[in-house]
Amino acid sequence: EYMGTTLHMSAARARAARLLSHIDPMAAETAAAASPPKRTTLSTHVLDQSNGRPAAGVRVELSRHDGNGIWTLLTTATTNKDGRCGVPELTGDMELTPGEYQLVFHAGAYLLDNVRIETAKPQFLDLVPIRFLITDPGTHFHVPLLLSPFGYATYRGS
């Protein structure tokens, strides 16, 4: 898996830097200066609990709050066949700085097209906003959405 490999390699580099700092502090400083800074990245995953499968084709919008009540749309993506929007699709080369962000999932359109449960009519959910804070630069944030016709849940994933 791409992200698992990236995280594993980052941990290995950090361990190597700690070991190198004990052996040769000057070499460790030079290696740290030569390493590119870690970017803050974001991904999401939508799971359709009513059908027991990934939710493909869900539109997702990423916005950032400016601190003065205004949300600025940064990007729009669509979940793939596995229900995922990874780093390239969601944030590309964008740097996510510390602040308040929001993912808006266009759940209503997905549910209308994909849920066959008669009790899901009339429709209850439409847009599902999830607001979160990025306070730890250089880390990966995974914000999954567990979706059903009458509710949803989220958590900070890995």
Average pLDDT over every residue of 124-146: 93
Contact between residue 145 and residue 46 where contact means Cβ atoms under 8 Å apart? yes
Distance (Å, rounded) from C-alpha 46 to C-alpha 79?
8
Distance (Å, rounded) from C-alpha 147 to C-alpha 128?
9
Q: pLDDT tens, 26-64? A: 655 555 555 666 888 999 999 999 989 999 999 999 999
Q: Which of 130, 152, 134 is nearest to 143 (CA)?
A: 130
Q: Which of 141 and 12 is assigned the larger pLDDT?
A: 141
Contact between residue 19 and residue 31 where contact means Cβ atoms under 8 Å apart? no
pTM > 0.85: no
Helix (H, G, I), strand (E, B) or coil at 19: helix
The pair of three-digit structure tokens given for residue 115, joined into one six-digit string: 């849920």
What length is written for the chain?
158
Q: Per-residue confidence at 1, pLDDT binned at 50, 70, 90?
A: very low
- Which residues pair with residue 144 across a beta bridge? 45
* Helix (H) or strand (E) segment spanning residue 105: strand 99-106
Q: pLDDT tens, 89-132? A: 888 888 899 999 999 999 999 998 888 766 556 788 999 999 99
The pair of three-digit structure tokens given for residue 51, joined into one six-digit string: 């059908």
Q: Where are the alpha helices (DSSP H) in 24-106?
A: 25-34, 87-90
